[in-house]
Structure 1
Amino acid sequence: MNYKVITISREFGSGGRTIGRKVAQELNIPCYDSELIQKIATESGFSPEYIQEASEYSPSGFLSAAFSNRAFGPSNEDYLWNLQYKVIQDLASQGPCVIVGRCADFILKDTTECLKVFVHASLKFRSKRILEVYGQREQSIEQRIKDKDKRRSAYHRFYTNMKWGHAQNYDICLDSGRLGINCCVQTIIHLYNNNEQPQ
């Protein structure tokens, strides 16, 4: 029995989004990344920009505010988390696909037909790639990396109580800097096509 869904979790700048899209293209299956934000926006009525900030890219003050707001009942962020949970499960139930980020590895953890991937790379590799893809900004590249990874880790831990990037939470962890983007793509495709589920 082959894997049905591939989830891609990734460090900022490691190329995880690119890897996910290339995998989906070669397997001829859908890839959900920014599309998830749009689907959640359509169902919630919130703007895509707000959803992006309140989820994986939450601002530094969001988590502490979320903790305090919970004393008064579920927050907007809690509502969006529950909606995100539902949207990802619905998409996974529709057929083979690749889902990038959004804690999909946790949301689908009880799905037997799910290949959970974590993509990481050295600071040097990520810094070079971010400069090439996003260009220079006022904030240093190194600080941008630290801020993005910190937010992703904090958000993931807040809603899943799991350690983001911890190898035991994934089926495979790939160093895109050492292996290269294309090698990561082909490794994932090989695992997807040749997996045999235990009896």
Structure 2
Amino acid sequence: MNKIITISRQYGSGGREIGQKLAKHYDIPFYDNEIITRAAKESGFAEETFARAEDKATNSLLYSLAMGINVYGNQDFGFSGLSLDDRIFLAQSDVIRKVAEEGPCIIVGRCADYVLKEREDVVNLFIKAAMSFRIERAVSEYDIEENKAADVILKNDKRRGNYYNYHVGEKWTDLNNYDLVVRSDLSGIDNAVKCICTYLGE
């Protein structure tokens, strides 16, 4: 398998686990929080700064303009007043491009599909699932109280959507932006992996 796979996923859909299983199957690197660790090391920013960036992202037009950002996703690299969050995004994007240059890998989240959009060897996946399935996983995998799980899921989805919309200028949930969309609640995690492998031509 000579592809770079990016995975966008709804919270609780099992997208990260699917990515890990794919990486193990193909024996290629898996990047999630590893992107943050490497970006922090190379940029000099603290890891906590990267972790907070997604929480602080906004899809506000006025905020975007105030930060000197083109809301269609094109950063003005010559603009000296870039916000800390935008500099963090650029540092993170640089690492994503570097790991892609190093060879086949799995990259979860962080707008990797957008960052690598000019490459022809990238397959962009979106993993989604019904709320009931996601609640069950949130409770079993993340130890979230069942009566709070739905709110946690919606909050995390909103943050991911805002982060993507802010930096990319498109809707995170627009399935036309992805090569393959998988319903993990219908297939199950392992069958989702098999489905993706089949799609990749195995």
Query: Under TM normalisation by the shorter chain, which class is it?
Result: 0.7 to 0.9
2:189 matched to 1:190?
Answer: no
Question: Per-residue CA shift, 1:144-172, capped at 9, x if unaligned?
Answer: 11110001001101110111021110001
Deviation, 1:138, is 9.7
**Secondary structure at the residue paired with 1:26?**
helix
AA aligned to 2:91 is L
AA aligned to 1:9 is S
Q: 1:197 matched to which residue of 2?
A: none
Deviation, 1:139, is 7.8
Residue 112 of structure 2: which of 104, 109, 114 is its match?
104
Taking only the aligned residue pairs, the percentage that are identical comes to 38
Structure 1 residues 138 and 50, CA gap change in structure 2 (3 angstroms): farther
Q: 2:26 matched to which residue of 1?
A: 27
2: CA distance, partners of 1:150 / 1:120: 14
2: CA distance, partners of 1:172 / 1:69: 35
Q: 1:39 matched to which residue of 2?
A: 38
Residue 84 of structure 2: which of 51, 76, 91 is its match?
76
User: Are the equivalent residues in 2 in contact too, given 1:3–1:192 (CA < 8 A)?
Assistant: no
* Structure 1: 4+ residue segments shifted above 6 A: none
Unpaired stretches in structure 1, ≥5 consecutive residues: 195-199
Q: 1:178 matched to which residue of 2?
A: 186
Deviation, 1:12, is 0.4
Question: Per-residue CA shift, 1:52-106, capped at 9, x if unaligned?
Answer: 1213xx14xx425953751681011111111111110111011010001110011
**What TM-score do you get using the length of structure 1 for normalisation?**
0.88
Aligned residues: 189
Residue 123 of structure 2: which of 115, 125, 132 is its match?
115
Unpaired stretches in structure 2, ≥5 consecutive residues: 69-79
Deviation, 1:35, is 0.5
**What TM-score do you get using the length of structure 2 for normalisation?**
0.87
AA aligned to 2:34 is E
**Secondary structure at the residue paired with 1:115?**
strand
After superposition, where does 1:82-97 map in structure 2 within 5 Å? Answer: 82-97=90-105
Residue 163 of structure 1: which of 164, 171, 187 is its match?
171
